[in-house]
Structure 1
């Protein structure tokens, strides 16, 4: 895994909050595409989405239904956490983004997700 998104209802307010806590996720980028059902999907995301990493980018779907609602069924996210050798360096940034994610001490930095599907549970890094 190389990056992750943190959903928010009001991306402009989330950016103000993050900047007020000392982290600037960058400007907002607007995007859109046609989904598999022919529906136009629109979103707004923070510019730090262009750089993969342990710190999430912000995304707001606005009045567009979240695409997960129309995605094929089969996988369930069981857990998600971050591993890092210096957990205290990530804590303030994640707090600035209001990201409720566990950061565990480890030798190497990693995003860790556990998915459960028809063939059982599997961990992805």
Structure 2
């Protein structure tokens, strides 16, 4: 990824996060009429549910991740990913890109003065017992909304979108930020051409086509 790719070419998945996964799933279903499919448990104490993000005429290579503390979890997550331990409510938290070469992408970020938050291996088991493993340039901990993407390499694992049944249509993803020009420059260094408008607080705005019509939200 050497040039700034426009939406949705750069996208692997979008994250909606909240303190409790069941609450995130229920709220999303209330707004859209679509029930997310259980994804699995993460080692740090979070769990997720998934939906395919469809784009007409394109393969199913993008998905929506709903994430929060697992339904049986009473303690905080071991890492405050997407602010699940500290955020006030449910919202569009982050987005992930899929560079061709994760290590080369990390070097390009460093050359642009952007230090990656760390590259590491992660995994989870699906409800049917399949192990999915990946390498990740991690999102920052304790941040409820990040307009700078994290990055993933799915290694030999199948892509989650290929086995996720419920779907919503991906219509748009954009951002708001107090310093949009500075943010656009950092996004360009990451190979991302995201539309960013000026706003009082950082926010990601997701537009979806659903059985209940077009839905646009930043906070749920």
What TM-score, normalized by structure 2, do the two folds share? 0.52
Q: Which runs of 5+ in 1 are unaligned?
A: none
Change in Cα spacing, 1:88 to 1:97, as seen in structure 2 (3 Å) is same
Q: Is the 8 A contact 1:84 1:108 kept in 2?
A: yes
How many angstroms does 1:84 deviate by? 1.3
Query: Which whole-Å CA distance do the structure 2 matches of 1:110 and 1:48 have between them?
Result: 15
Query: Which whole-Å CA distance do the structure 2 matches of 1:48 and 1:29 have between them?
Result: 11
How many angstroms does 1:50 deviate by? 3.0
1:22 and 2:113 matched:
yes
Farther off after superposition, 98-107 or 57-66 = 98-107
1:12 and 2:139 matched:
no
User: 1:93 aligns to what SS in structure 2?
Assistant: helix
Farther off after superposition, 12-21 or 40-49 = 40-49
Q: Is the 8 A contact 1:82 1:104 kept in 2?
A: yes
Query: Which whole-Å CA distance do the structure 1 matches of 2:170 and 2:140 have between them?
Result: 21
How many angstroms does 1:7 deviate by? 1.9
**Cα RMSD for the two superposed structures:** 1.7
What TM-score, normalized by structure 1, do the two folds share? 0.88
User: 1:108 aligns to what SS in structure 2?
Assistant: coil
User: 1:113 aligns to what SS in structure 2?
Assistant: strand
Change in Cα spacing, 1:51 to 1:28, as seen in structure 2 (3 Å) is farther
1:122 and 2:215 matched:
yes
Q: Which runs of 5+ in 2 are unaligned?
A: 1-91
1:57 and 2:158 matched:
no
User: 1:48 aligns to what SS in structure 2?
Assistant: coil
Change in Cα spacing, 1:8 to 1:51, as seen in structure 2 (3 Å) is farther
Cα displacement string for residues 24-44 of structure 1 (whole angstroms, at most 9, x for unaligned residues): 112202101122343221111
Structure having the larger proportion of residues in helix: 1
The aligned length equals: 125
